Structure 1
Amino acid sequence: MPSFRPLPPGCTFWQPTTLLATVGGIGLIRVASGTWGSLAALPLAWLLWRLGGPLAVAAAGIAIGLVGIWAAGAVCRGGEPDSSAIVIDEVAGQLLALAPVAGMPWLYPFAFALFRLLDIAKPWPISWLDRELGGGWGVMLDDIAAGAAVAAIGAAVLAGGLA
Structure 2
Amino acid sequence: MTPAPRSSTPVPGGRSMLQFMRRHPAHLLAQGFGSGLSPIMPGTSGTLFGWASFVALTTAWPAWFSPLHWAWIIVAGFAVGTWACGKTGRDMGVSDHGSMVWDEIIAFWLVMLFVMPAGFGTQLGAFVLFRFFDMVKPPPIKYFDRHVKGGFGVMWDDIVAAFYTLLVIALWRAGAS
Q: Could you state the TM-score of these two structures normalised by the residue count of structure 2?
A: 0.79
Q: 1:63 corresponds to which letter in structure 2?
A: A
* Matched-pair contact (CA < 8 Å) for 2:30–2:81: yes
2:24 is the alignment partner of 1:13: no
1:89 deviates by 0.6
Cα distance in 2 between the residues matched to 1:162 and 1:91: 28
* Alignment match, 2:137: 122
1:128 deviates by 1.1
Cα distance in 1 between the residues matched to 2:58 and 2:158: 20
User: Where in structure 2 are there 5+ consecutive unaligned residues?
Assistant: 1-5
2:13 is the alignment partner of 1:4: no
Distance 1:154 1:133, change over 3 A: same
Q: 2:168 corresponds to which letter in structure 1?
A: I
* Matched-pair contact (CA < 8 Å) for 2:21–2:31: no
2:46 is the alignment partner of 1:43: no
Cα distance in 1 between the residues matched to 2:54 and 2:105: 10
Moved more, 74-83 or 4-13: 4-13
Distance 1:6 1:60, change over 3 A: farther
* Alignment match, 1:65: 78
* Matched-pair contact (CA < 8 Å) for 1:41–1:91: yes
RMSD: 2.3
Cα distance in 2 between the residues matched to 1:90 and 1:100: 16
* Matched-pair contact (CA < 8 Å) for 2:58–2:66: yes
* Matched-pair contact (CA < 8 Å) for 1:57–1:102: no
Identity %: 34
Cα distance in 1 between the residues matched to 2:161 and 2:125: 14
- The structure that has the greater radius of gyration is 2
2:144 is the alignment partner of 1:136: no
* Alignment match, 2:90: 77
| Matched positions, count | 160
* Alignment match, 2:106: 92
